[in-house]
Structure 1
C-alpha cells in the first residue's frame, strides 16, 4: 500500500526531533499493525498552502499512490487566503487523486486560536475564522469524493490545555502532539485503507 502525505509543515513533520514521531511514519505504523505492507512517501513541505497542492498531487500520482493523507489550511489562514479560494484548490487536488484511484483523507485547517502567539483578546475571532475555513474545506473535500478526518474536534482542546503538545517554536506540534494528531487521523485512514 502506497501511503503519501501531502500538504504543509504538519504533514512534513516540522517540530518533531525524530522522523519516526511525525505523521507519515506514525500512520504507516498504524496501517502495518492492521496487516498492511506500507510504502511511505512525503510530498508535503513547510509553508505549503492549498495553491501548492497541485504540484504535490502530480508528483504523488506520477510515482503511485493508494492512500493520500492531506493536511492543509494553516498557512492559508495565516496568509489570509479566502476560504472559497483555498477550498477550490483543495477540491481540485482531492478530485485529481480520486481520479487516479487513490483514497483520500483530509485534515482541514486547525483552530489557530490555541497557538500561544495569538493574543487572548483575538482568540475568539481567530477560532471563528479557523472553524469557518475548515467548514468550507470540508464541503469541498466531500464534493470531490474525499474523507474528512475531524482532527480539530479531537485535539484542539488538548493542545489548548497542554503546552507539551507544541514544539519549542510554540507553533508546530511536538512528538507528543504528532502522536495525538496521528491517533485522531488513524481511524479514517484505516477505514479508507480497508476499501483498497
Structure 2
C-alpha cells in the first residue's frame, strides 16, 4: 500500500521533534496494525498552499500512489487566497490523483482561531473565515471524487483547550497534537485502504 502525504507543514510533520510522531508515520503505523503492508512517502512541503499541490501530485503519481492524504488550507488562509481559487486548485489535485487510481482523503483548512497569535477580539471572525474556506474545499473534494475527513471538527476543541497540543512555536502541532490529528484521520484512511484492496 503506497501511502503518500501531500500538502503543507502539518502533512510534513513540522513541530514534532521525532519523525515517528508525525502524521505520515502515525497513519502508516495505524494501517500496519490493521494488517496492511505500507510504503510511506511524504511529498508535503512546509509553507505549501493549494497552488503547490500540482507539483506534489506529479511527484506522487510518478512514484506510484495507492492512498493519498492531503492536508492543505492553513497557508491559503494566512495568505488570503480566495476560497474559490484554493478550492479549485484542490479539486484539480484530487481529480488528478483519482485518475491515477489513488484513493484520496483530504483534511481541509483548520480553524485558525485556536492559534495563540490570533488576538481574542478577532477569533470569532477568523473562525468563521476558516469554516467557510473549509466548506468550499469540502465541496470541491467531493466533486473530484475524494473523501473529506472532518478533522477540524474533532481536534479544534481539543487544541483550543490544551496548549500541550501545540509545539514550541505555538503554531504547529506537537507530538501529542499530531497523535490527535492522526486519530481523527485514521478511520477515513483505513476505509480508503480497505476499498483499495477490495
- Using structure 1 for the length normalisation, give the TM-score: 1.00
Partner of 1:189: 189
State the shift of 1:116 in Å.
0.2
Partner of 1:124: 124
5+ long unaligned stretches in structure 2: none
Partner of 2:66: 66
For residues 48-87 of structure 1, what are the structure 2 equivalents within 5 Å? 48-87=48-87
4+ long deviations beyond 2 Å: none
| d(CA) in 1 for partners of 2:150, 2:193 | 17
| d(CA) in 1 for partners of 2:45, 2:64 | 19
**How many residue pairs were aligned?**
196
Partner of 1:142: 142
5+ long unaligned stretches in structure 1: none
State the shift of 1:12 in Å.
0.0
1:63-120 Cα deviation digits (max 9, x unpaired): 0000000000000000000000000000000000000000000000000000000000
| d(CA) in 1 for partners of 2:120, 2:30 | 37
Task: Name the Cα RMSD after superposition.
Answer: 0.2
Partner of 2:28: 28
Partner of 2:161: 161
Structure 1 residue 46 and structure 2 residue 46: aligned? yes
